[in-house]
Structure 1
């Protein structure tokens, strides 16, 4: 198992996720593997000690009343109190019976299932970290490289770890891009769909794009001396911006 933990640390480094996230992914993988080897209704807990580089899987059975409805649907996770008292006369309702589940006893099947589960849960955490990272950037200007433009005029842009899509309707009238061009666009949403996976929805027509560009280019706006009150535009034709300043020595015009 030490070898597996070494692999987890390597994956955490390669995928740029925290060690804590890698550990949580491993725990979920252990629990799901144990369920696949028994029943999905079973309850398991996984404990990983990173100091000893060892792990423990524990099967948990909760003691319930003899007429508890959960006994019919989740018989592998609950035990009637009358049966539990055959093992321990002092046991009470809601007490838990615990026994160690040894993954190695299930041979290659367990190892194969654990590998698949670990790969799945690590990837989910990578995607979640990416989603949160770019979600925090919504409303910001992104810079990327055009990868391709399809027949419908939609432009696909490489931005960091993800791809962005600048649809035809979000492009300024008359704009033409080709593969290799560097473009700036405003991040509207972080989206996920079956066709494109996780992607960034971009726009160059939003008034917010103009506001953000001006904030980046005009120091007085960036430091707050001049405030953008409102912006309106017909992309590719004209734009109007209302500015104000509370400082008497600054003319926002």
Structure 2
């Protein structure tokens, strides 16, 4: 290999983020294997690659012994001293054994090593880039569907949207542009495997962070998210600035901000509720759009009894219990919902007044 060849390797290594010395060490290691493979040698050899000229020398390494058992690995003490009187037993003697036509084999081997190392380096950089983006949103283009998996082109890499991470009734076509949430990045022999989701609650949270500047700037904080993907979600928000309405900031002018997110999630309904440090008020807000008369909480058991007007009962519970279920997920409290008439019946049957005095809940 000539000097220009070596300079090209070095430049290529730098461009791909590989230290030239690491590249040259890898070439030397590969040349040892190439020598043994092409010249049928079981010798212990060392390959020296001149970093500037590209000259290659192969040296057989032999241990100095009194009695030689294997001439490929050992050399007699007298023979070694004839070469250099300073040699002693157990020293290692290096004898040059560079084949005449080794340059062609070396060049071919070096090219293969460089290509392999560059591929490994690129995979490593892609892994580092995307592993640092776990729990973040990426935008990609649907490439193909295989065995219910959707493969999404992210530019430098390909992501997999598995069946369990796909939204119900959402169809995917080649060329569709899609926002997904990175749930995990794995190292594999074929490069990084990026697993993404359309159903993760984190997707909704990140979409609001992208769409609402007040969240991005830290003025408005997302306290909790509960999702039934493709159907309905609830998100609890809190403002660190009393002059900023957290719900209004998330909804946006004429509902434009939340509508953008609804469109991205293919029509998933989103309830934005105000978080409150008081569990009773928080639970009442979480049951929005239903109006609540009163909330009784049992701190130790994280249980609550909610009373709503009779005409609001079905709204509070929601279709197939969806509203109550999402409110429970959002707040972390078990919620038992009763209408005013049901509460009155319970109170009369027990000889007690209905639970809780009414209070204004915000």
TM-score with structure 2 setting the length = 0.53
Aligned-partner Cα distance in 2 for 1:26–1:5: 9
Equivalent position of 1:167 in the other structure = 162
RMSD: 3.8
Cα offset, 1:41, TM superposition: 8.2
Aligned-partner Cα distance in 1 for 2:164–2:130: 22
Cα offset, 1:101, TM superposition: 7.3
Q: 1:32 aligns with which of 24, 30, 33?
A: 30
Asked if 1:179 is matched to 2:153, the reply is no
Cα offset, 1:163, TM superposition: 1.2
| Superposed counterparts of 1:175-214, under 5 Å | 175-193=170-188, 197-214=191-208
Asked if 1:243 is matched to 2:244, the reply is no
Cα offset, 1:199, TM superposition: 3.2
Equivalent position of 1:4 in the other structure = 5
Aligned-partner Cα distance in 2 for 1:65–1:225: 78
> SS at 1:115's partner residue?
helix
Alpha-carbon distance change, 33 to 242 in structure 1, aligned in 2, over 3 angstroms: same
- Is the 8 Å Cα contact of residues 225 and 245 (structure 1) preserved in structure 2? yes
| Superposed counterparts of 1:109-128, under 5 Å | 109-128=105-124
Please tell me whether Structure 1 or Structure 2 has the larger radius of gyration of its CA atoms.
2
Aligned-partner Cα distance in 2 for 1:28–1:238: 55
Cα offset, 1:7, TM superposition: 3.8
Equivalent position of 2:353 in the other structure = none
Q: Which runs of 5+ in 2 are unaligned?
A: 247-273, 275-362
> SS at 1:232's partner residue?
strand
Cα offset, 1:225, TM superposition: 1.5
Aligned-partner Cα distance in 2 for 1:134–1:65: 55
Cα offset, 1:242, TM superposition: 2.8
- Is the 8 Å Cα contact of residues 27 and 48 (structure 1) preserved in structure 2? no
Aligned-partner Cα distance in 1 for 2:96–2:223: 64
Count residues with an aligned counterpart.
Answer: 239
| Superposed counterparts of 1:1-253, under 5 Å | 1-8=2-9, 11-12=12-13, 17-18=16-17, 20-38=18-36, 42=44, 44=46, 49=51, 52=52, 54=54, 86=81, 106-150=102-146, 152-193=147-188, 197-252=191-246, 253=274
What are the Cα deviations for residues 44-97 of structure 1, in whole angstroms up to 9, with x where unaligned?
A: 476664xx454666859698999xxxxx9xx95xx7997898466656899776
- Is the 8 Å Cα contact of residues 32 and 47 (structure 2) preserved in structure 1? no
Alpha-carbon distance change, 41 to 102 in structure 1, aligned in 2, over 3 angstroms: closer
Q: Which runs of 5+ in 1 are unaligned?
A: 67-71
- Is the 8 Å Cα contact of residues 166 and 199 (structure 2) preserved in structure 1? yes
Deviates more, 1:208-217 or 1:127-136: 127-136
Aligned-partner Cα distance in 2 for 1:119–1:103: 25
Alpha-carbon distance change, 225 to 3 in structure 1, aligned in 2, over 3 angstroms: same
Aligned-partner Cα distance in 1 for 2:200–2:76: 65
Cα offset, 1:183, TM superposition: 0.5
